[in-house]
A and B are shown apart, each in its own frame.
Chain A
């Protein structure tokens, strides 16, 4: 059985964010919105989890968006069209628990803007109204808003500096829309931990059910190591097999934040060696 995963298209979205279309038919055939892959680039390298931004069973492709934050993601970023991943395993995790009616608001920050795209498509095919909110620090870092627009009833862009769209955080825009009577029934957010924490706080206060895709450190991604454990509702779960989507209002974000920092020192060193010490 052929597990070769070859890059057939690549696009630079920002200086450090890159989109890859990967021919990996075996992974594509069972992929569902909300799942991820684990990939490896070199024989001595780490296994890293990356969300599935898009998939096509017909074309046998998986699209991923990589944000270069450290050594391994930098190695991925340097790959070009025609090259293959050493390992590309998936789809992993559970499909996002999507509703079949109502009005969903999808919130994406960083690579998360890509990760919410398959949710939007699936929700729309189920007849759910979809509003999307995309956040970035500044206009040059806004990614994939156009792609998301193809599967959303409306898209709202937010930048911290106001260089594009709403000035402020995604949660500010979310509240504005709710105040204006958007009538959201569900919220799904993928992005940096501080953003998801803020979404949790806001939606809890406003009584809007919300799910977030947690991105703890992982090793195997198959439920074997327990390194990805997160506390939700006072109970410990393995994000790779029980998630990655969890009830935002129940997540212990303090613990999740702390655990992400476990190898901070080693990572900073590896990042500097990889030339990311900017």
Chain B
């Protein structure tokens, strides 16, 4: 039994005080030495259970072994066999719920830092030029594929099908590509240059990117098929519609959905004086919710200058949805956590600006449908807290634009498109869906996994159709004879 250090090799992070005021990436990543040291913690298990925890089955054991040997190029190649966006996943995967949760080391010591290693390998590859990156494949098929939405799901489908020789077009409603990777996740956690590089890479694979097209408005799915000649459509429109609390005062100025706040900051770069889109500079920010989105919003508010920034959550620390790493970093940056606190209404001033929240304390009762213990208000515990910016980060619903405008596309009670979990097939032949529009808000790598399955299914579907058409031509005999 080799000796394994109980703790993950540390990854250097910039000093919390310094990073509170700028947008540079917080986690600096492993050096080669650290990466090799961390890779040596892996036991090279006979049965690498960690891989079952990864929604796209990255060959973890093999890539980690190559890192241990110092073969970073080989490690990169290994990861790329399964994962198109490793620099992104290595940064944002909630590894404690995915791959690392399965690592055999986990019960007694830290699991292998799979996410960190993946990031290291991807960054190494970026810095050393994607040497043997696949050249643009020959586009030789005539069945065109339309992809709606440029989030991780859509990007994955595009990549897989482009490499199979299909002409692929991605339609994006916004003016920039990447979905949540672009407008949601902040620069200090995922530098936008990485998203840009991945999009550029897909362009070299021949994928056509079209911005400013809102499918369902500019062009409907039916028109894509009937008038623009697309043979198959993949819908990866995400779960972009923000949920509000429906409590009094919610439309006061200074109250944002997380989507609006983060879009102003990330997509529109409100933090930079060079950009025109404004955002209110907070002094006391209150962010409602405790998922990834809430952590992003609260840490952005600190970077926008908030002297005090609170997370307000009706359950306790245990029930929070955020990734462990981001939660800790938020704490290090000085975020104040008000657990077991439920806002009941927002208070405003005479000009319609928010000035605070009226809250009530809660305690945890019996488990609810989600399996988490239900927060129950404690009578008489009402109190008010001051805030001049409030961000509501309670999750999102699927955007209804595509289902509303597509004939015969089934949705469930939550408005999610109903799709076969294995193939992404919807109730409409030739229309596939995957990612958050099917599952509701989930993770980047799950969206990519769904995209991969759908790409395989679309390829099979189109081959079948091509075969059928060929048969029909044969059955019909010579067109001349049939007049």
Interface residues, chain A, with chain B CB atoms under 8 Å away:
1, 3, 26-27, 29-30, 40, 42, 44-47, 71-72, 86-92, 219-220, 222-227, 229-231, 236, 241, 254-255, 258-259, 261-263, 266-267, 270
A196 to chain B, nearest CB (A): 18
Nearest-CB residue, chain A, relative to B404: A241
- The answer to whether B401 touches A226, judged by C-beta atoms less than 8 angstroms apart, is no
Residues of B within 8 A of A87 (CB): 175, 211-212
Assuming the contacts A89-B218, A219-B263, asked whether A259 and B174 have C-beta atoms less than 8 A apart, the reply is no
- The answer to whether A3 touches B213, judged by C-beta atoms less than 8 angstroms apart, is yes
- The answer to whether A3 touches B263, judged by C-beta atoms less than 8 angstroms apart, is no
- The answer to whether B213 touches A26, judged by C-beta atoms less than 8 angstroms apart, is yes
- The answer to whether A92 touches B214, judged by C-beta atoms less than 8 angstroms apart, is yes
Residues of A within 8 A of B464 (CB): none
Please provide the chain B residues from 194 to 246 with a CB less than 8 Å away from any CB of chain A in the complex: 208, 210-214, 217-220, 223, 228, 240-242, 244, 246
Q: Which residue, B210, B218, B268, has most C-beta atoms of chain A within 10 A? A: B218
Known: A1-B171, A40-B175, A226-B256. 19 other contacts (CB 8 A): A3-B213, A26-B218, A30-B217, A46-B277, A87-B211, A88-B212, A89-B214, A90-B214, A219-B264, A222-B173, A224-B399, A225-B257, A225-B259, A226-B257, A227-B256, A229-B244, A259-B251, A261-B253, A263-B280
Interface residues, chain B, with chain A CB atoms under 8 Å away:
169, 171, 173-175, 183, 208, 210-214, 217-220, 223, 228, 240-242, 244, 246, 250-251, 253-254, 256-257, 259-260, 263-264, 268-269, 274-278, 280, 351-352, 399-401
Residues of A within 8 A of B246 (CB): 236
Q: What separation, in Å, do the CA atoms of A135 and B374 have in the docked complex?
A: 57
- The answer to whether A225 touches B263, judged by C-beta atoms less than 8 angstroms apart, is yes
- The answer to whether B263 touches A220, judged by C-beta atoms less than 8 angstroms apart, is yes
Residues of A within 8 A of B223 (CB): 30
- The answer to whether A241 touches B401, judged by C-beta atoms less than 8 angstroms apart, is yes
Closest 3 CB pairs of A and B: A258-B352, A225-B260, A89-B212
Assuming the contacts A226-B257, A226-B259, asked whether A266 and B278 have C-beta atoms less than 8 A apart, the reply is yes
Q: What separation, in Å, do the CA atoms of A1 and B218 have in the docked complex?
A: 12
Residues of A within 8 A of B218 (CB): 26-27, 30, 89-91
Assuming the contacts A47-B175, A231-B251, A236-B250, asked whether A222 and B214 have C-beta atoms less than 8 A apart, the reply is yes
A215 to chain B, nearest CB (A): 16
- The answer to whether B214 touches A263, judged by C-beta atoms less than 8 angstroms apart, is no
- The answer to whether A89 touches B276, judged by C-beta atoms less than 8 angstroms apart, is no
Q: Which residue, A225, A236, A254, A267, has most C-beta atoms of chain B within 10 A? A: A225
- The answer to whether B399 touches A223, judged by C-beta atoms less than 8 angstroms apart, is yes
Residues of B within 8 A of A255 (CB): 251, 352
- The answer to whether B278 touches A224, judged by C-beta atoms less than 8 angstroms apart, is no
Residues of A within 8 A of B278 (CB): 263, 266-267
Residues of A within 8 A of B173 (CB): 89, 220, 222
Q: Which of B175, B183, B241 contacts A223 (CB 8 A)?
A: B241
